[in-house]
Structure 1
């Protein structure tokens, strides 16, 4: 038996231990597997992202539907307003159901502070007190000649005293004037939009009503509104 030389044995061992080459076919297969896995992961990510967005949109649309029926708005709309004057505070209950647009405009005006510093420009005893621009043609202008005729009115009339309203023609000249009746007025709807009622502070209204006025029913001593605070509960 022929003896194998040590050098030949060393070369044979190196050939056995050396790494085998990867074929082109195997490399291509592995590459396709990686691409497919990456595509699958990307598709899964997009699917769950879209599903999450759809759920968020459904929730928002549900909230909007509730808003369209006024379910959420009713919670946020104040039901009362406290009119703080230089004579004291007057608490008013707002008639949102009866005059929604006027109440909304009144609330916006309160939030913007438009009533701060407003003066009661006309005071007609046993009739109304008015806050607003004295130079603006207002509802009271054509009432002054008839004011004395309302001194003794039937208390069973539809419109009672201490009702809060604003001029129907207020949009023509801008602004938001306020009227508080001090006696029942039979043709109230023809003159002003009623959107509230005084539930506390009637004595303050009467004190303003008793102020000394000039021939144009303007208080000789200024009486004004300090601020108006909106409240959910009385």
Structure 2
């Protein structure tokens, strides 16, 4: 019963968030390395977009870092502050990777564990076409829910930084100098 109530409240929040946006939401991201803008696709990934917007609206992405940068693959962020402290998460989101959107260059998708329904707050931006990450009729993939529409040169700049391994945090491909999200704002086209 408790889980059903939690699911109902989450669904209600997500619908309320999406109904507030008549057009595709645009999220403007300010980082320590420059700015970029994302267009989100609530018609293709409604639960994922609502989840992402929830973190944007409550301000909890501010101060997080792009903690994983793999040249020619992805830049990932949203989950850790500059000291590698994990930021709190809302409940996990149902996988929407079979929505027809592909992990192509410039798209944003949700990171997750091996459990398809485990995405919470971490996201990544594809630096190349990564169709191997897509959902198919036979497997779940990683949910694409938008794309970079302005400032992809900033994403490429982030992707070009020198990375290190941090054994204590058990993390690889970490930018040598932290790249932080300073601000995120929501608008529409």
Same fold (TM > 0.5): yes
Instruction: Give 1:76 deviation, angstroms.
Output: 4.7
Pairing 1:73–2:19 present: yes
Which residues in structure 2 correspond to 1:179-194 (within 5 Å)? 179-189=124-134, 190-194=140-144
Which of 123, 136, 141 is residue 178 of structure 1 equivalent to? 123
TM-score, normalised with respect to structure 1: 0.55
Greater fraction helix: 1
SS at match of 2:35: strand
State the Cα distance separating 1:130 from its structure 2 match.
0.5
How many residue pairs get aligned? The number is: 142
In structure 2, which of residues 120, 128, 150 is the aligned counterpart of residue 200 of structure 1?
A: 150
2:105 to 148, 157, 161: 161
User: What RMSD in Å do the two structures reach over aligned CA positions?
Assistant: 2.7
Alignment partners' CA distance in 2, 1:225 and 1:123? 15
The answer for unaligned runs of 5 or more in structure 1 is: 1-68, 137-157
Q: Which has the higher strand share?
A: 2
Please, which runs of 5 or more residues in structure 2 have no aligned partner? 1-14, 87-101, 135-139, 166-171
Cα distance between partner residues in 1 of 2:20 and 2:65: 31
TM-score by length of 2: 0.67
Question: Structure 1's 77 and 106: CA in aligned 2 closer, same or farther, altered over 3 A?
Answer: farther
Provide the rounded CA distance (Å) in 2 between the counterparts of 1:168 and 1:97.
21
The higher-RCO structure (CA 8 Å, 6+ apart) is 2
C-alpha contact 1:168 1:191 (8 A) present in aligned 2: no
Q: Deviations over 1:116-138 (max 9, x none)?
A: 001010100000001023677xx
